[in-house]
């Protein structure tokens, strides 16, 4: 016997369902992006230096967004991974913290494996040397409030899905990148979930501007260490669905691999890259990197595409692999092998 469902009844069900069966990427809007940017890159946070009161305010804000998104607290009932390592104390750091939330996967065979999404939420604080006139606050709207905004928005959209992704996702906002990758290095030494079960990290950095030193990057994303792993095979088609081209910039891909938090996580053995809308620009580490001068139309396409890419990674049965034919990836592959072989 065949059954048919009237379109009107199906529509009524979908409207009444509290969680979406598919991700609602359209719920990411220019307004939602601006809401996060206005706060994170406001003068009130004084440039989110590590350490600072402004950085603590940002951490509280991010934790609240993770909670609203339905993420589980990542560390003993809290969203804060407080860094107490002696090396940080020697560097003169008081208490600082990563912000961690987890979206549990749904597949019995894959739910205990994890895809990481990361971005650093710190910037440079107040700087006399980089001041623009009377403006000494390094608000870091692009670097990296834009990446942090993306992480929060992706968490919100994927957290609202009725059918969770196959793998779990761990969302981490990292402190201290500008001071030497301190937050990601701390996480690598004190992982919240086992490193051997963490199949990938893609780190989101500086996606709010399209005018770069080497031209216009509208509709494009760079991937550092592009050919170090095969992760691009998953990211590229997922981004293309939203009009974003994943670019192999052969001049910048390798040197920039070491300049953001993916480097510390790769050193821990996790296949890890940074995605960014090009690389350096005239606003980089300047006091005029403000929230009201970002390209929100391009950022909107980018964040929606990255949400789709995160979902594709989490639903892929094949985990990303280090490239055994690339000598630059050899040391990371060896670390990965030690993780998985118990050596």
- Averaged confidence pLDDT in the chain: 92
Q: Measured between alpha carbons, how far is 275 from 28 in angstroms, rounded to an integer?
A: 19
DSSP of 255-310: HHHTTSTHHHHHHTT--EEEEESSS--TTTTSTT--GGGS-HHHHHHHHHHHHHHH
Q: Is the pLDDT of residue 16 over 50?
A: no
pLDDT at 30: 98
For residue 223, the cross-strand partners are 275
Rounded to the nearest 5°, which phi and psi values hold at 330? -60, -45
Query: Which tokens hold the place of 214?
Result: 């080497």
Number of CB atoms found within 10 A of residue 197's CB: 15
Model confidence at 5, in pLDDT bands (50, 70, 90)? very low
Model confidence at 6, in pLDDT bands (50, 70, 90)? very low
The residues, any chain, with a CB within 8 Å of residue 241's CB and separated by 6 or more, are: 305, 308
pLDDT for 203-258, tens place per residue? 999 999 998 878 899 999 999 999 999 999 999 999 999 999 999 999 999 999 99
CB 222 within 8 A of CB 232: no
Q: Is the pLDDT of residue 91 over 80?
A: no
Q: Measured between alpha carbons, how far is 312 from 166 in angstroms, rounded to an integer?
A: 10
The residues, any chain, with a CB within 8 Å of residue 339's CB and separated by 6 or more, are: 195, 196, 269
pLDDT at 123: 97
pLDDT at 13: 40
Q: Across residues 61-65, what is the average pLDDT?
A: 98
CB 96 within 8 A of CB 179: no
pTM value surpassing 0.75: yes
Q: Is the pLDDT of residue 87 over 90?
A: no
Query: Which tokens hold the place of 302?
Result: 């980018």
For residue 293, the Cα-to-chain-centroid distance in whole angstroms is 21
């Amino acid at each position: 016997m065949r059954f048919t469902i009237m379109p009107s009844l199906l529509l009524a069900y979908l409207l009444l369902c509290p969680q979406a069966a598919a991700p609602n990427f359209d719920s990411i809007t220019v307004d939602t992006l601006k809401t996060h940017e206005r706060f994170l890159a406001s003068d009130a946070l004084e440039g989110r230096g590590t350490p600072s009161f402004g950085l603590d305010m940002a951490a509280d804000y991010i934790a609240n967004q993770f909670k609203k998104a339905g993420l589980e607290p990542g560390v003993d009932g809290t969203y804060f991974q407080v860094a107490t390592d002696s090396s940080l104390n020697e560097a003169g750091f008081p208490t600082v913290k990563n912000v961690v939330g987890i979206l549990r996967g749904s597949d019995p065979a894959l739910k205990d494996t994890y895809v990481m999404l990361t971005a650093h939420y710190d910037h440079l604080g107040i700087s006399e040397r980089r001041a623009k006139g009377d403006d000494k606050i390094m608000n870091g709207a692009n670097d990296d409030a834009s990446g942090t905004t993306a992480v929060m928005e992706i968490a919100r959209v994927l957290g609202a899905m009725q059918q969770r992704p196959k793998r779990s996702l761990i969302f981490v906002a990292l402190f201290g990148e500008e001071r030497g990758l301190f937050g990601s290095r701390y996480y690598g030494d004190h992982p919240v979930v086992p490193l051997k079960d963490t199949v990938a990290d893609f780190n989101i950095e500086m996606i709010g501007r399209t005018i770069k030193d080497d031209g216009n990057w509208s509709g494009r994303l760079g991937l550092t260490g592009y050919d170090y792993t095969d992760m691009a095979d998953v990211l590229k088609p997922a981004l293309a669905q939203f009009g974003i081209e994943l670019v192999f910039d052969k001049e910048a891909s390798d040197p920039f691999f070491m300049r953001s938090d993916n480097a510390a996580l790769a050193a821990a053995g996790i296949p890890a890259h940074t995605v960014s809308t090009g690389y350096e620009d005239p606003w980089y580490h300047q006091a005029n990197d403000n929230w009201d001068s970002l390209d929100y139309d391009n950022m909107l396409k980018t964040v929606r595409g990255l949400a789709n890419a995160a979902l594709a990674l989490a639903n892929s049965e094949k985990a990303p692999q280090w490239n055994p034919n690339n000598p630059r990836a050899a040391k990371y592959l060896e670390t990965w092998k030690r993780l998985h072989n118990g050596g």
